[in-house]
Amino acid sequence: MSQTQTQVAIIGGGPAGLLLSQRLHLEGIRSVVIERQSREHVLERIRAGVLEWGSVEVLRDSGVGQRMDLEGHVHDGTGIVWGGEHRLSLNTRAAVGRPMMAYGQTNITEDLYNALDARGASIIDSAEDVTLHGLDTSNPRVTYDKNGARQELECEFVAGCDGFHGVSRESIPRNVRTEYEKNYPFGWLGIMSETPPLDEIIYANSDRGFALCSQRNPMLSRYYIQCDLDANLNDWPDERFWEELKVRFPQDISASIVTGTSIEKSIAPLRSFVSEPMSYGRLFLAGDAAHIVPPTGAKGLNLAISDVFYLSRALACFYREGEERFLRDYSETALRRVWGAARFSWWLTNLLHRFPDQTTFDLRAQEQELGYLAQSESYMKAVCEQYAGLPFED
C-alpha cells in the first residue's frame, strides 16, 4: 500500500471541499482533496445559483471572485407572486442593505478547480472505497483505491465535505449522532435553457403548485415547477413544461418568458435534514455531508460556504496559534447558522407550495401570510434579513 502524508484530508471535491482546500492554502495549511467521481462528472452537475452577499465576500476573500464579479448578476432581491394577481418583492438591498448575486454553482466549482490547478493542489479524483480510520486519535488516516491500488493518506484532521451520500457522516458512531429529517410530498422539475431569463428571480404560489423563474447568465435560464414525487421525465417534453410553467404565473410575466429547447431537465425531491454534531474527534463535517435544505430560498450552497468559513478559521487558529477554541466550538457555531437556514427554507417551502393534504383553511392562511408580508415593513425586514443570509459570528 502506498502511503502519503498531509495536514488536512478533505473528503469530497464539491464546492465545500474545494473551497476549504483553497482557504487552507491561503493560510499555509497543506491538504489533499479525495473525490469519488471524475472531475468531468463533478463539473457537469447543475445545482443552485443564488449567493448571499456574505458568500460573495467569502469567495472574493478566497481569491476566486474574479469571474463571479464579471459575470454574476447582482440584484436587489426576489419577487413572489400568488393568487394569479398579487405580488411582492423581497428587496434585500432596501430592507437590510445587502443585495444578492446570481452565479451558478457549476461556475463556482469550475473557478475553484482552476484556482487549485494553478497552484498545483493535490486533488485525487475517481477514488474508490474511501474509508476513514482513527478519527478519535490525533493521527487519523484515509484509505482508498486509485487505479486498482490501495492508497493510504496520513493526516492530522479529516474534513468531511462529501455531500449527503458520502462516507464521512456515517463514520461518526451512530450513538453519538442525532438526525433530524423531514421529507416533503413533492419534488421540483427543473430545466436549463439557452434563452434570456427574466430580469428578476420570481417565485410563484399558484393553485397548480409552486413555480420559479431563475437565471444563470444573459443567455441561460433556469426554471422549476413543483411536481409529484412519482413524476417521470418522459412525461415532460419541453412543450408541456413551458405550458405548465406559464399557467402558474400571471399573464404579463408568462408573456415575458422566452421558451426554447431545454439543455438539461431533472427532478429532485425536497428534503430537510440536519445531523448533529458536525464534528467527532478529528473529523469535521461541512456542507451537504451534515445538512440538506429544500431548494426554496437557495440556502444549500450558502450554508456550505459558511461552514467552510468557520472550519477554515478554526483550523487556521489551531495551526497559527495552537488555539483549539474554534475547533471545539465549530459544530455549535456552524449549527446555529444551519438551523437558521433550515428553519427559513422549511418556512418558505410551506408558504409557497401546494401540499396534498392542505385544507381550504391552510390555503387562506398562506394567502393571509403573503398579504401581511407585502404590507408589513417589520415582517418584510425579518424575512429579508434571513433571505439575505444571517451574518457570520465572530
Enumerate binding residues for ligand PHB (CB under 6 A). 48-50, 201, 212, 214, 222, 295-298
Q: Which of residues 45-104 bind ligand APR (CB under 6 A)?
A: 47-48
Is 223 known to be catalytic? no
Nearer residue to ligand PHB within complex by CB, 59 or 158: 59
Is 299 known to be catalytic? yes
Judged by CB under 6 A, the residue of 6, 15, 223, 366 near ligand APR is: 15
Q: Which of ligand PHB, ligand APR, none is residue 165 near (CB under 5 to 8 Å by kind)? A: ligand APR
Examine residue 341 and tell whether it contacts ligand APR (CB under 6 A): no
Distance of alpha carbon 1 from the chain centroid: 36
Question: DSSP secondary-structure letter at 138?
Answer: S
Nearer residue to ligand APR within complex by CB, 37 or 350: 37
Selected catalytic residue, list 25, 73, 299, 353 = 299
Judged by CB under 6 A, the residue of 8, 24, 32, 130 near ligand APR is: 130
Cell of residue 130, nine digits = 474511501
Sign for the pseudo-dihedral over CA of 381, 384, 388, 393: positive
Q: Count Cβ neighbours within 10 Å for each residue of 248-287 and write b for 16 or more, e otherwise.
A: bbbeebbeebebeebeebebeebebbbbbbbbbbbbbbbb
Is 265 known to be catalytic? no
Q: What crossing angle do the helices spanning 360-375 and 377-387 adopt, rounded to 10°?
A: 100
Cell of residue 50, nine digits = 443564488
Q: How many residues does the chain have?
A: 394
Q: Which of 78, 80, 84 is nearest to 247 (CA)?
A: 84
Is 353 known to be catalytic? no
Nearer residue to ligand APR within complex by CB, 32 or 301: 301
Judged by CB under 6 A, the residue of 10, 11, 192, 315 near ligand APR is: 11
Cell of residue 94, nine digits = 432596501
Judged by CB under 6 A, the residue of 10, 14, 156, 353 near ligand APR is: 14
Q: Which of ligand PHB, ligand APR, none is residue 49 near (CB under 5 to 8 Å by kind)? A: ligand PHB
Find the DSSP H helices in the chain. Answer: 15-26, 39-44, 53-61, 66-71, 92-96, 105-118, 238-247, 251-256, 300-321, 325-352, 360-375, 377-387
Examine residue 165 and tell whether it contacts ligand APR (CB under 6 A): yes
Q: Which of ligand APR, ligand PHB, none is residue 262 near (CB under 5 to 8 Å by kind)? A: none
User: In this structure, how many other beta carbons lie within 10 angstroms of the beta carbon of residue 377?
Assistant: 7
Active-site positions read: 75, 203, 295, 299, 387
List contacts with ligand APR (CB under 6 A). Answer: 11-17, 34-37, 42, 47-48, 105, 127, 130, 161-163, 165-167, 287-289, 300-301, 304
